[in-house]
Amino acid sequence: MIKLTRIDDRLVHGQVAFTWTPAISADCLVVANDKVAQDEFMKMTLGLAKPASTRLIIKSLADAATFINDARAQQMKILLIVNSVKDASVMANTIAEIKSINFGGIRTKEDSKPISKAIALTDEDITIIKEMLANGLELEVRQVPTDKKVLIETLI
């Protein structure tokens, strides 16, 4: 079962490993990313950042959806991590279990504007967010579990 779906362009790092994972009692981190799924060096690097007692699974978007939608995954406590708004939308459209998405960190890039201290969005991101909101998803901004939940629609 998915305990949290998080957008974080750094994927697995200290906040995810040592703050979110224990806060939601996750026993499995699933990184859904087409590029990282093909990059052995990135897989190794992310493996070094995960908590020792937590399983790390790195798959393409399609393979991650297949894995999570399998009945056997329901026994796991999954923290699903993607690195973009677009990928979060793909996952939400292919995994019915996703009802809420946490925006944790999206760094500033070309054509993006900051909406909070850790989130910068492009116009394309905002269009996708509006579609996800129209589909009834809760989209919330929090870097760490102790932060106050801020709904993204109040920031865009």
- Tokens for 64? 């991650």
- CA distance linking residue 37 with residue 15, whole number of Å: 22
pLDDT tens across the length of the chain (156 residues): 999 999 999 999 988 999 999 999 999 999 999 999 999 999 999 999 998 899 999 999 999 999 999 999 999 999 999 999 999 999 999 999 999 999 999 999 999 999 999 999 999 999 999 999 999 999 999 999 999 999 999 999
* Sign of the dihedral through C-alpha 143, 35, 26, 18: negative
- CA distance linking residue 115 with residue 117, whole number of Å: 7
Query: Which of 13, 43, 77, 86 is an active site residue?
Result: 13
User: Which CATH number covers residue 141?
Assistant: 3.40.35.10
- The pTM of the full predicted model, rounded to 2 decimals, is 0.95
Give the residue numbers spanning the domain of 133: 2-154
> Is 3 among the catalytic positions?
no
Structurally, how many domains does the chain consist of? Answer: 1
